């Protein structure tokens, strides 16, 4: 059976079999993971940060992602575990002196080496292009190749001299097994941090409760005064006690039963001791009979007051 023009179709043109699985280019994946940000997919530019899972990000892209609180925010799978800037660490990278950047092939007439990287290991000199494993330290953020960490085993950073532990070594862009191990370690660190925070809060509340309980038992505490104020206070108290003792001794009755005279010298006499007043003394007051005049003797223009009656 033929078609127009006398052509004869073949079997693969008539019978469609299963599609071939597309293989991803390894060089393209390495370039995407080591040269581009995991959030914005833009080329990596300093300052560069890394998370606890070993992914690389531009710091400005992480800040923009955290500041976007709108409901239409696009949740990126590679950044779901980043809740704040404390979840990432700024890397201390070593520049590659042979790297010329975007100016190397501006005309397009030269061979562009895709394996050339912008950063290298400061100990061995390997380029950070994904061909060799690299890691960074959570304590200081310095980046080294795995070969350098194995050849020169130490507990101090090769670049800045800061001490670190084995758990502080984070592999950059590791395999699936390494990523699962880093995920487990990250969850353990967060769980320990939560327990430590709760323990600190409980200690603070216990200390406050104990102090309040001691204050209730001992009563309100009075502030201590300086020595000078204390001496002046003692002097005042001694003077007050001596004066009060003299007043009490003066006011207390004697053995015969008569009260002593007050210290001021003013004596009070009873009405019986004073006796009868003279007529001259009584005439001073308006209540005396001599001050009262008859109605005929009173002039009309004088205002009547109570003193005329």
3-state secondary structure of 299: coil
CATH code reported for the domain at 26-101+114-174 = 3.30.40
- Half-sphere exposure in the Cβ direction for 175 (13 Å, CA): 4
Residue-level pLDDT, tens digit, the chain, 309 residues: 555 667 788 887 888 877 777 787 787 888 888 989 999 989 999 899 999 999 999 999 999 999 988 888 888 888 899 999 999 999 999 998 888 776 655 566 665 666 678 899 999 889 998 888 999 999 899 999 999 988 888 888 888 888 888 888 999 998 899 999 999 999 999 899 889 988 888 888 878 777 776 776 765 555 554 555 556 556 555 655 544 444 444 444 444 444 444 444 556 566 555 567 777 777 777 777 766 665 556 555 555 555 554
Per-domain residue ranges of the chain: 26-101+114-174
pLDDT for residue 238: 60
By the 10 Å C-beta count (0-12 exposed, 13-18 middle, 19+ buried), 186 is classed as: middle
* Full-model pTM: 0.58
Cα–Cα distance list, 242 to 235, 249, 265 (Å): 11, 10, 20
d(CA 172, CA 96): 18
Number of CB atoms found within 10 A of residue 274's CB: 8
Structure tokens at 72: 């239409």
Cβ atoms 252, 246 nearer than 8 A: no
3-state secondary structure of 264: coil
Q: What is the DSSP letter of 56?
A: E
pLDDT for residue 249: 46
3-state secondary structure of 127: strand
d(CA 37, CA 34): 8
Cβ atoms 94, 119 nearer than 8 A: yes
Structure tokens at 218: 């001992």
d(CA 216, CA 230): 27
What residues form DSSP beta bridges with 134?
Answer: 145
Q: What is the dihedral of CA 183, 186, 190, 191, to 10 degrees?
A: 60
Strands 48-51 and 94-95, how do they pair?
Answer: unpaired
């Amino acid at each position: 059976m033929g078609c127009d023009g006398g052509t004869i179709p073949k079997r693969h043109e008539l019978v469609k079999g299963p599609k071939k699985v597309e293989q991803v280019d390894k060089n393209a994946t390495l370039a995407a993971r080591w040269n581009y940000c995991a959030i914005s997919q833009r080329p990596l530019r300093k300052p560069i940060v890394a998370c606890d899972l070993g992914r690389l990000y531009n710091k400005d892209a992480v800040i923009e992602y955290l500041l976007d609180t709108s409901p239409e925010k696009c949740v990126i799978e590679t950044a779901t575990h980043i809740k704040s800037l404390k979840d990432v660490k700024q890397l201390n990278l070593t520049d590659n002196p042979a790297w010329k950047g975007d100016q190397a092939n501006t005309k397009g007439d030269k061979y562009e080496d895709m394996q050339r990287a912008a950063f290298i290991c400061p100990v061995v000199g390997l380029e950070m292009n994904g061909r060799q494993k690299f890691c960074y330290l959570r304590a200081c953020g310095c980046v080294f190749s795995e070969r350098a960490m194995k050849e020169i085993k130490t507990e101090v950073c090769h670049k800045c001299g800061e001490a670190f532990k084995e758990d502080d070594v984070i592999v950059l862009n590791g395999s699936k097994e390494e990523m699962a191990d880093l995920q487990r370690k990250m969850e353990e660190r967060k769980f320990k941090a939560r327990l430590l925070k709760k323990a600190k809060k409980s200690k603070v509340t216990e200390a406050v409760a104990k102090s309040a309980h001691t204050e209730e038992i001992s009563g309100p505490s009075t502030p201590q005064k300086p020595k000078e104020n204390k001496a002046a206070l003692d002097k005042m108290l001694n003077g007050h006690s001596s004066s009060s003792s003299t007043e009490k001794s003066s006011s207390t009755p004697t053995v015969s039963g008569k009260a002593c005279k007050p210290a001021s010298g003013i004596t009070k006499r009873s009405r019986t001791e004073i006796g009868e007043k003279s007529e001259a003394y009584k005439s001073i007051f308006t209540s005396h009979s001599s001050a009262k005049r008859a109605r005929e003797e009173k002039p009309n223009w004088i205002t009547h007051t109570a003193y005329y009656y």
